[in-house]
Amino acid sequence: MILLLLSALLAVPSHAAAPTVKDAQAFMDGAEKSLDALGRRSAFSSWIQQTYINYSSEWLASDADQSYSAEAARLAHAARKYDKLDLPADLKRKFLLLKLTVTSPAPPDPAEQKELSDTKVWLEGTYGKGKYCPASTTTCLTLDDMEDILKDSRDPKRLAEVWTGWRTISVPMRPRYQRFAELSNKGARDLGFKDTADLWRSGYDMTPDQFSAELDRTWLQMKPLYEARHAYVRRRLQDKYGKDVIGADGLIPQQLTGNMWGQSWENIYDLAAPPKTKPAYDLTERLKANKYDELKMVKTGEAFFTSLGFPALPSTFWERSMFTRPRDREVVCHASAWDVENGQDLRIKMCIKINSEDFVTIHHELGHNFYQRAYEKQPYFFRGSANDGFHEALGDTIALSVTPEYLKTIGLIDSVPGPEGDIDLLLTKALEKVAFMPFGLLVDKWRWDVFTGKTKPEDYNKAWWALVQKYQGMKPPAPRSENDFDPGAKYHIPGNTPYARYFLANVYQFQFYRALCKQSGYTGPLHRCSYYGDKAAGKSLGDMMAMGSSKPWPDALEAVTGQRQLDATAILEYFAPLKAWLDEQNKGQATGWKAE
């Protein structure tokens, strides 16, 4: 009798109804409201932590980050109950974006959630406070100081010293970064991803493997241009420093590139300049001669956007941004743009120097701010760019339009150089843009292999330098070992900022630029185009930016360019005159390098 009664009870259907589309919509409405509030709190806390680095600000940032990460992970985990529903396209997209909200999702265990947040804040703070203190002096050098030395010095021993000195700051990060990767992977697996690499590569409207293949395909499109420029500059460096310093393996010592990571070479223009030529103008000197200060630099960047029809930045931007390094406290000087309150409180954080590099960087960062404001009316999960590469590309699309014609228009130069100066201008740009491409690829290739377990903790540094050699064709000034942690000497590793977006941005910006030039009616050489003041170009950009992340990125790309695929042909078109010139210069010279 008892058995019959139990059987009857077990046969009774559950009162828990299967979830419906209406339930999913209600869940999503609550999730957006919750994360919007927590995200605002985290943004304010992070701003304080990065502009007032101390124990208290780090505690506040960690606590806010933990709260946001834990809630995002909880919601993403709870959202899995709606995975099998046939949802409307917009709602389905929001559920995917929910899972991708946090770059390092928190594990389900509260103690590990706190450990993850503390570790992330510690890593970023350690980088921000990093200094090199030479034994020969009582004066410690900041990263700014060392970047100036790499930019200006032509003493190979001094360059090697500061390059190596900066990398002492990342050695203590190694065990903490290993633990960070373990905890982040736990959180990613809890959301249904294989690991953090799988999560990061799932935000591009294609499978992770397809995304990796797209990056490789695009790199191969432009690799010949990089190799031609590499061979030419290597020979010029050998002329300066001699074969003993350069070596016979075809690799360029990274410290000789004028940049701490070899990601941009414009600081060694004087060594790479075409023989017997003199630049038509020095933008850094023109900025100083025209009495540009930090504020005027930013105002000029804003004026480019307003010339396209965008409204001016709010007064709070000028009141709350950080434009210079404070003298009374530690800060993270790495340039960044902030949307603290959904387009209502936009800021940038920089330690601006009056030079051409920061002039371009300001345009880049303001691109983030204008994009952030353009999509402010979108729902929470659609307040972002079509993919993260779009966000990085916008400001640089504007910066490509900073041509001699534009500089004359705003009074920074007196006359526009003739075509005879084109090689000079293109080489200068290539030392920045083309030099960056392999570095933009390798940072996340290293990180993805760490997250997947392909690269073991005992091989962190070996794997890093294998990628540097393969893609950049560079080497360190002296042998490195596993006692070092050289990836941690680049902000985006301890700062946990995905980096493939910068590679994408370097390609998208030329696609955007070429399309906007055509829309403005320009028919000359691509590198000479400026659409400053063109309201039609501004509308085209603005309409795309207002879409936010509500549509797949090929839709957003098509809206401006008519293309639906990542395509490096715009880069090749832009630099075509330079490539022909480099090939002529490199005749009879070996290109490429030997990578172990």
Alpha-carbon gap, residue 67 to 88, rounded angstroms: 30
Return the HEC string of 12-32: CCCCCCCCCHHHHHHHHHHHH
Residue 137 main-chain phi, psi, to 5 deg? -150, 160
Q: Kindly state the DSSP code that residue 252 receives in the 8-state scheme.
A: E
- Cα 96 to chain center, whole Å? 22
Q: What is the largest CA-CA distance in the chain?
A: 105
Catalytic choice (147, 266, 365, 432): 365
CA 407 – CA 419 distance, rounded (Å): 16
Beta bridge partners of 336: 349
DSSP for 548-571, please give it: TTSS-HHHHHHHHHS--S--THHH
Task: Show Cβ contacts of residue 408 under 8 Å, excluding neighbours closer than 6 positions.
Answer: 414, 415, 416
d(CA 251, CA 266): 18
Residue by residue, DSSP assigns 97-129 as: HHHTS-SSPPPSSHHHHHHHHHHHHHHHHHHHT
Active site residue 363: no
User: What's the CA gap between 481 and 472, in Å, rounded?
Assistant: 19
Q: Answer yes or no: 285 catalytic.
A: no
Which region holds residue 277: left if phi is over 0, alpha if psi is between -120 and 50, else beta? beta
Q: Of 112, 227, 294, 492, which is the active-site residue?
A: 492
* SS3 state of residue 1: coil
- What residues pair up with 347 in beta bridges, in sequence order? 338
**428's tokens:** 């200068």
Contact criterion met (CB below 8 Å) for 246 and 238: yes
| Adjacent-strand bridge partners of 8 | none
According to DSSP, the residues that pair with 349 across neighbouring strands are 322, 336
b/e 286-310 (16+ beta carbons within 10 angstroms → b): bbeeeebebeebbebbbebbebbeb
Question: Residue 109: CA atoms inside 13 Å, Cβ hemisphere, count?
Answer: 7
Can you tell me the distance from the alpha carbon of 471 to that of 489, in angstroms, rounded to the nearest whole number?
18
The tokens for 404 are 């001699």
CB 184 within 8 A of CB 194: no
- Radius of gyration of the chain measured on its C-alpha atoms: 25
Q: For residues 296 and 169, what is the distance between their CA atoms, to the nearest angstrom?
A: 34
Residue 84 CB partners (closer than 8 Å, separation 6+)? none
Q: Which residues are catalytic?
A: 365, 492
